[in-house]
Structure 1
């Protein structure tokens, strides 16, 4: 569960950036993160840097089936060849070596193998038969050479010379399959818990969005935040890339212009009649005393 805790920590830390802003940003971030966690849990999301897809819950089922095939393949091979019954060991003499057979794989690499015929005795009875499998090492054998073989005590005519090598190979198959199976189980658990966690976040974001008044387009915000969280989830982004990007996607709230009051008309002043100048009085006009 440590891997899920890392994803949960990433998601929670990413959401905290938007929680400190406004409710609309936080609601959009919750829907974006929750939706991505659900998508990642079911089918996996593409790595924007490496172009590879993470295994979703359905991919982990394929891993588990693949692991089981690897684990069971030794059982099927043993059943078809009877190798698990060839427990007895004895010395045999090479009587002849078959002609070399060369094969080429898809990469153009060639390999040469041979089989050989061996003669041996079990409980006083002599057996002689060709090997059931061929190998490159058999080409180095020569007639008359002594080799160690394994045979089936219940049916001594069944024998093989490279049982130990095949036992090691089949053991590797089993443990590789076991590793793949356990990895699939762990990844399946992580994806399952991730889906539940993402669903809770998504529901919370939708519930918060319903309480918001009409405002910016949350759909555009969710799409942009998804891209940012995807980079954060794969851990390839710098701190600046994880910073909130709402500033670039939210339309600015229009600010009402400040309207100055219209100038009031000034009533013209009432004209004042000019005062006629007073003429100076002459001596004649002075009153008699």
Structure 2
């Protein structure tokens, strides 16, 4: 179905426990900044993206806010998500940071707000989670979630606060499918989002994942590109991928996922590309310190 601007609006949605509907594909904004970034994000919105993902530490919440102003879509049709940095995990600092994020973006509320990393060595993530729950009560955010949290971190949130996140955004791509994490999230009614959904070259590979023989074979079979095959795989896993693309053509291509379906055998074959410790950046949530 097309809207009045000719944009494809047939993107499926996934409903969070609290009732908010997230589009099955979102738009990542990492490194999209200033005037050019605002134009690229505006184009993404006009091309059909309705879930826009940013973070305090991306230093572009103002850019996202400007893109919203110049896009041809009203604010209430968008899901805007941001993230709390590690240096503001203490309770009052977290609340202040959320308000600062809203000032930067010139928004009245975020639809979704996440703790960016657990930073377990600092051990303030439960306090940060309590602040997000308070921010939700105050109407600063509509839904609270986390990013890069492992099962042990999530278990502790539930044990100490009685409430689990609605979203967990983690690294997922064909070399790092995170089967156990996805299963945990599914069992606890947590929606999994995927950052870096198209991956990198991989530690043991000399070419991008999209150029692997299996991905190229499936792209040829379905008359798609390698990126579309990977994003479709993630969608069929029940994950919301958040690809970033600067060009309008790539933005549109990353939404063109819903007119074909990978077979169960093809899904398994892609998942079997898993490699040990194939994180793109090598950032392990058990030890990574994000400030």
TM-score, normalised via structure 2 length? 0.20
TM-score, normalised via structure 1 length? 0.20
Larger Cα Rg: Structure 1 or Structure 2? 1
More relative contact order in 1 or in 2 (CA 8 Å, sep 6+)?
1
